[in-house]
């Protein structure tokens, strides 16, 4: 039976990956730093350790075939925290012989990213987080192709903004005023934006992991996920709620005023450009590899999202399946 170690099980992609690999019959070892934030499927083996604790993780990961690096350090401290985590996960991949999988993002394309992001679209280190992600992926590519020592094989699956858990743009901003009948637009409402529904993305990780033998030592695959304009996303919420919503603009000017006092707001403001430039991921190579991709219908995605946005009046009365049930 194939086995996977997921690093960052209490995170968004980490949790979705644990559920998806377990549902697909993999033996799952789940790394976390504290107790699971929600129940995990039976049979998942927990390893409580910091990602930098190589001896503990190498012991726990002995014999695993795949490691999913779903770690994400403090968003405001990537410059100092990402490099040691990258080095530790690569050392772990070398120690175990496992293929390392990483969820990539669109930051690598820089703040003048083109509308269609293809396999050969150049990376541009035009802002610090772009440079940090480019360096992270370069380290993976270099480690896979290293001569002399055994290389660490790796696969990057690049996706848009996550949907389907807390701490996303949807629950932090866009859906925050639904109870007042408002939908918050992060920028011009007619610009396509790349999203990734976490359960679908996690299933893509599983499907790619199952075909890893046919890939190059370092592979990078874009996953289109769901591309939607702000207006389309609002319309999907209106349809789910059965009533119109008033469009309201995200208060970027206020957030900008607060940036001198908050590293987090400063970091978020730096990413504003993603709401001012249309973009979608082209995933032709991924489709060629997998055939069809998991694609939960938008109406179902929105129902799940609504269930996660608590305290809202007028939610559909029918019970909404939970992510855990979907995966089992």
Ligand X SMILES: NC(=O)c1ccc[n+]([C@@H]2O[C@H](COP(=O)([O-])OP(=O)(O)OC[C@H]3O[C@@H](n4cnc5c(N)ncnc54)[C@H](OP(=O)(O)O)[C@@H]3O)[C@@H](O)[C@H]2O)c1
Binding mask 97-136 for ligand X (x = CB under 6 A): ------x-x-------------------------------
Q: Which stretch binds ligand X (CB under 6 A): 114-122, 157-165, 250-258, 290-298?
A: 157-165
Q: Which stretch binds ligand X (CB under 6 A): 7-15, 18-26, 219-227, 257-265?
A: 7-15
3-state helix/strand/coil string of the chain = CCEEEEECCCCHHHHHHHHHHHHCCCEEEEEECCCCCCCCCCCCEEEECCCCCHHHHHHHCCCCCEEEECCCCCHHHHHHHHHHHHHHHHHHHHHHCCEEEEEECHHHHCCCCCCEECCCCCCCCCCHHHHHHHHHHHHHHHHHHCCCCCCCCEEEEECCEEECCCCCHHHHHHCCCHHHCEEEECCCCCCCEEEEEHHHHHHHHHHHHHCHHHCCCEEEEECCCEEECHHHHHHHHHHHHCCCCEEEECCHHHHHHHHHHCHHHHHHHHCHHHHCCCCEECCHHHHHHHCCCCCCCHHHHHHHHHHHCCCCCCCCCCCCCCHHHHHC
Least Cβ distance, residue 66 to ligand X (angstroms): 16
Binding to ligand X, residues 278-307 (CB under 6 A): none
Residue 13 interacts with ligand X (CB under 6 A)?
yes
Q: Which stretch binds ligand X (CB under 6 A): 119-127, 158-166, 248-256, 309-317?
A: 158-166
Out of 2, 46, 52, 54, the only residue in the binding site for ligand X (CB under 6 A) is 52
Out of 25, 38, 50, 310, the only residue in the binding site for ligand X (CB under 6 A) is 50
Binding to ligand X, residues 188-217 (CB under 6 A): none
Residues at the contact surface with ligand X, assessed by CB under 6 A: 8, 10-14, 33-34, 50-52, 70-73, 85, 103, 105, 159, 161-162
């Amino acid at each position: 039976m194939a086995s996977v170690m997921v690093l960052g099980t209490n995170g968004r992609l980490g949790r979705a990956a644990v559920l998806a690999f377990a549902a697909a019959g993999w033996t799952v070892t789940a790394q976390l730093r504290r107790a699971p934030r929600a129940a995990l499927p039976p049979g998942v083996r927990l390893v409580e350790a910091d990602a930098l604790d190589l001896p503990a993780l190498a012991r726990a990961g002995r014999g695993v075939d795949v490691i999913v690096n779903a770690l994400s350090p403090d968003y405001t401290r990537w410059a100092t925290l990402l490099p040691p985590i990258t080095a530790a996960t690569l050392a772990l991949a070398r120690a175990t012989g496992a293929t390392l999988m990483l969820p990539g993002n669109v930051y690598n394309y820089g703040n003048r990213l083109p509308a269609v992001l293809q396999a050969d679209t150049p990376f541009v280190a035009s802002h610090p987080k772009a440079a940090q992600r480019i360096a992270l992926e370069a380290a993976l590519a270099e480690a896979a192709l290293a001569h002399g020592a055994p290389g660490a094989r790796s696969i990057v699956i690049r996706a848009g903004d996550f949907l389907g858990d807390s701490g996303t743009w949807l629950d932090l901003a866009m859906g925050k005023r639904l109870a007042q009948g408002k939908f918050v637009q992060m920028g011009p409402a007619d610009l396509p934006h790349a999203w990734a529904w976490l359960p679908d993305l996690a299933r893509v990780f599983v499907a790619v992991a199952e075909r890893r033998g046919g890939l190059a030592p370092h592979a990078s695959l874009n996953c289109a996920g769901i591309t939607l304009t702000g207006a389309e996303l609002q319309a999907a919420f209106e349809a789910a709620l059965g009533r119109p919503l008033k469009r309201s603009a995200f208060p970027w000017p206020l957030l900008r005023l607060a940036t001198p006092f908050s590293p987090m707001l400063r970091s978020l403001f730096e990413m504003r450009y993603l709401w001012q430039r249309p973009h979608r991921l082209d995933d032709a190579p991924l489709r060629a590899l997998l055939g069809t991709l998991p694609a939960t219908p938008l109406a179902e995605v929105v129902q799940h999202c609504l269930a996660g946005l608590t305290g809202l009046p007028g939610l559909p009365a029918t019970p909404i399946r939970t992510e855990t049930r979907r995966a089992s």
